[in-house]
Amino acid sequence: MSEFHTVAKVGDIPEGQGRSFALGGTMVGVFLTEGRYLAINDFCPHMGASLADGYVENNAVSCPWHAWRFSLVDGTWLDNSKSGIRSACYEVRVEGTEIQVRMALPTPSPVAGCNSPS
């Protein structure tokens, strides 16, 4: 089940920039572009650079290493949209002053001898 998780406060991410946050073992890049918060998987599928460090323009981010461009709206690789390469996107909402990202976090498995039946 996916839930919303607070990652930052309004004002923490400047317009036209992104920030990276760890959510349940996944790095998520959250961006403020054109007054809207958008979130995608932070790792560029090409070589793993942090997309949150990239250049943001027109609801897209350019990878800081090799300039691959990804849509912040749907994760499409804009340089070759027919390739099928894309970055996962996540729903974002603002609740009061909190920026929240919807994601299903893994459920921890019980360790033998710890909260498990004998």
Confirm if 97 and 2 have CB atoms less than 8 A apart.
no
What are the strands, taking DSSP E only, across 42-116?
A: 55-57, 60-62, 69-71, 89-90, 92-95, 98-103
Q: Answer whether residue 115 is part of any domain.
A: no
Q: Answer whether residue 23 is part of any domain.
A: yes
Q: Answer whether residue 98 is part of any domain.
A: yes
Q: Answer whether residue 72 is part of any domain.
A: yes
Each residue's pLDDT tens digit, 72-94: 999 999 999 788 899 999 999 99
Whether the model clears a pTM of 0.75, i.e. scores above it, the answer is yes
Q: Answer whether residue 78 is part of any domain.
A: yes
Q: Answer whether residue 60 is part of any domain.
A: yes
The total domain count for the chain is 1
Q: Answer whether residue 88 is part of any domain.
A: yes
Confirm if 45 and 87 have CB atoms less than 8 A apart.
yes
How far apart are the C-alpha atoms of 43 and 30, rounded to whole Å? Answer: 12
Each residue's pLDDT tens digit, 11-47: 999 999 999 999 988 999 999 999 999 999 999 988 8
Domain carrying residue 22:
3-103
